[in-house]
Structure 1
Amino acid sequence: MTNKHIFETAYLWQFVDENIVDGVFAAMAVSDNASDPRNIAIKARDGRDLLAITLYKESWAFEKGDEMPLIIDFFEGKPETLTGYGDGKVLNATLPMSDAPLFLHLVASREAVKLSVPRLGDHWLIDLRFAPPVIVKFLRRLMGDSKKFSKNSQMPDKQKGKGNSK
């Protein structure tokens, strides 16, 4: 029997950039209050050219370094398989920072993503409808200059034509 864990309620994504451990300087996460609590976090760490994707489930009990596939499906017909590494109640996977723009774009523009850990029979459907405002904060932190954007603006327009203004 398959464990189809669905985040049925649209829990709000949260952005965190203070009091984070292990070199993490920005994270966005969502959790639920199911009988077997679970959450997912997307994290950026100092000095690493990658995004970490961390899944937590209360009932998991991995041996440190336990390796298994993690499938991420944005329902485009091209699911991505990452290698996940277990450690206790946590499964960690990473994406190269070069893949971060597309990944975060998909998180911001889709209604849901399915995360599957086939070896465990776990399939989570994550509601993404409330993720975009948190992604804006996450991207500002990644870029290191939140002053570039006003609260409700889009990416700044490129200057047209002439050189530097005086």
Structure 2
Amino acid sequence: MQISGRLQWRAAFFNGLVEQHCTAGNLPLPQVQPHGGYAFSDGGICAVHAICRGQFLELTTSAGRIPLTQMPARPPTSESWSLPLLNSGLLRPAEEGAPPSIGVTHGVAGFERSEIDLETRQLILRHWLAMEELDQPTFSRAVEGMRERAVLWNSLFELENT
């Protein structure tokens, strides 16, 4: 199947996060789950929905290729998937003693619980806006607070489903 250069770039970005997450945590590579996501042995689920929704792809890792099924348009519940973030060390665990969240955080609730200051939040959101090609007003609204972050979260689905 032919896929666009943009989609290839996004898939490569996600592949890198998977490799880094597993390597840093000494974890086995993820297994494909029935809903189309990936479950890590530490319980984290990476949202390929946000990377290659609706496409057939293979996840290429150092352990070989993992075929993907058709991605659903939406995850089954908001609690069952995660957004991959910049692996920059800026995202710290929400609770004392929790394992580092490398590349992923769990939903809006997880984003709220994480110790992310406004500047760091803006950096992460700006990165996602560049990937999603959203406009500056959307970004400006999103960084006003976590409620606006949820608005942006929902707008990503709305834009892709129109």
* More RCO (CA 8 Å, sep 6+): 1
With structure 2 as the length reference, what TM-score do the two structures score? 0.28
With structure 1 as the length reference, what TM-score do the two structures score? 0.27
Relative to total residues, which structure has the larger strand share, 1 or 2?
1
